[in-house]
Amino acid sequence: MIPVILDLFWSFVKIGFTSFGGLSMIPLISHEVVSHGWMNLSEVSDIVAIAEMTPGPLGLNCATFAGIHATGIPGAIVANLGVLTPTLTLTALAAVFFQKFQKSRRMTQILTGVRPVCIGLLIGVIVSFMQTNYVIESAVSIPAILIGAIDAVLLFKWDVSIPKVILLSAGLGLVLFGVF
């Protein structure tokens, strides 16, 4: 159990140091937990969905769920400490050098270069999650695509709140997949 705990800590330290919070963490979390065998891609998709619905930062929520799945409560604690370590370290350093970073042309250039990379990573995650969420038993799921299309219209065209879209999606899933 100790080697897994150390792997969890180190994996989430890497995630914390190499991502910029929020959705940019998803590709890294997915890669780490799947490559270590702690979860499969379908389970990662589930924890991301749950982490988005629960209060708190996405990275912490995913670290909690991944840690619990891997080794229980000790894993959740260690994964959370791992994902927080870089943030706390970098925040302390940034506070010391805030004035220098604020006016630095280089920092502005670096951040300008990082944004397209984050978008590319998100597109990669979207494609891999689409394979998990829209293909069921080697067949494309029309009901899942329909729910996704309705969600996209509600979110982007009519600006419906995310909790309402989640509730509607859950209801549609129950109806379209024959639970009710």
Where is pLDDT greater, at 62 or 1? 62
Percent above pLDDT 70 for the chain: 98
Find tokens 């708190």 and name the residue. Answer: 56
Q: What pTM does this model have?
A: 0.64
pLDDT confidence of residue 117: 92
For 137, the enclosing helix (H) or strand (E) is none
**Domain positions in the chain:** 2-133, 141-180
Rounded-to-integer distance, Cα 88 and Cα 116, Å: 25
Do residues 137 and 104 touch, judged by C-beta distance below 8 A?
A: no
Q: What is the pLDDT of residues 57-110, one digit of tens each?
A: 888 999 999 999 999 999 999 999 999 998 889 888 878 876 677 778 887 888
Q: What is the mean pLDDT of residues 38-47?
A: 92
- Residue 139 in this model has a pLDDT that exceeds 90: yes
In total, the chain counts a number of residues equal to 180
Orientation angle between helical segments 142-152 and 162-176, nearest 10 degrees: 160
Q: What is the pLDDT of residues 118-130, one digit of tens each?
A: 999 999 999 998 9
**Which of 48-52, 142-146, 158-162 is the least confident region?**
48-52
**What sign does the CA torsion over 11, 19, 37, 74 have?**
positive
The runs of H, that is alpha helices, within 19-104 are 26-35, 41-53, 58-71, 73-96, 98-102
Mean pLDDT (the chain) is: 90
